[in-house]
């Protein structure tokens, strides 16, 4: 199975993200938008592992959330990986109590490392992936200008984070579906 640990996006925020995706599609017609039911904010990608590891992954999350109360984040800006000028994946970055996301991420990485899993050492940027383009792709100056003018702050309400989820990612006709395997509440 393929696993990842993430925050699920609440329904009220999905509507606003859909509007952002619509605006992106007007600016970049060949963008492939992320399905609304798959929008999430990844804390850690685990990758392939045996089903028998689910309880250990759940324990890692339980340990990571210790002492972290519910918190809020707000979608705030648009950017892309590897960079906005030469994008592959467009995403919405968040602001708010992101310090708690960094603490969760580090605690989860430490737990995964103790289990013998490789962890991503790149700089963590909390984000919600909203679409992809085929590579190589270079934005025109006009497209970059339109993206910079996109203002998303007013459209979003706070996302109240009350739990962290363990998901499995299942390949399905060239795409992936996500199933929740465990939900660990913040106390």
In the chain, domain spans: 2-185
Residues 6+ apart with CB under 8 A from 102: 124, 126
Question: Which stretch of 3-7, 57-61, 85-89, 164-168 has the lowest confidence by average pLDDT?
Answer: 85-89
- Using one digit for the tens of pLDDT, what is the confidence trace for 39-92? 999 999 999 999 999 999 999 999 999 999 999 999 988 999 999 889 999 999
Q: Is the pLDDT of residue 155 over 70?
A: no
Reported as a pLDDT band with limits 50, 70 and 90, residue 175 is low
> What pLDDT does residue 154 have?
67
**Reduced to 3 states, what is the DSSP secondary structure of residue 4?**
strand
State the pTM of this model.
0.91
State the CB neighbour count (10 A cutoff) for residue 97: 16
Decide: 166 and 57 in contact? Cβ < 8 Å. Answer: yes
What's the Rg (C-alpha) of the chain? 17
Superfamily name and number for 2-185: Cyclic phosphodiesterase (3.90.1140.10)
């Amino acid at each position: 199975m393929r696993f990842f640990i993430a925050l699920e996006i609440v329904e009220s925020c999905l509507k606003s993200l859909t509007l952002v995706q619509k605006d992106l599609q007007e600016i970049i017609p060949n963008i492939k938008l992320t399905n609304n039911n798959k929008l999430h904010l990844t804390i850690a990608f685990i990758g392939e592992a045996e089903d028998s590891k689910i309880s250990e992954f759940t324990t890692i999350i339980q340990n990571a959330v210790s002492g972290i109360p519910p918190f809020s984040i707000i979608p705030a800006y648009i950017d892309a990986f590897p960079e906005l000028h030469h994008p592959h994946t467009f995403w919405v970055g968040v602001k708010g109590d992101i310090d708690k996301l960094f603490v969760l991420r580090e605690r989860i990485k430490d737990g995964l490392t103790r289990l013998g899993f490789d962890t991503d050492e790149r700089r963590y940027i909390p984000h919600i992936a909203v679409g992809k383009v085929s590579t190589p792709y270079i934005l025109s100056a006009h497209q970059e200008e339109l993206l910079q003018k996109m203002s998303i702050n007013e459209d979003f309400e706070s996302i109240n984070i009350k739990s962290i989820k363990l998901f499995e990612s299942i390949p399905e006709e060239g795409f992936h579906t996500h199933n929740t395997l465990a939900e660990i509440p913040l106390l």
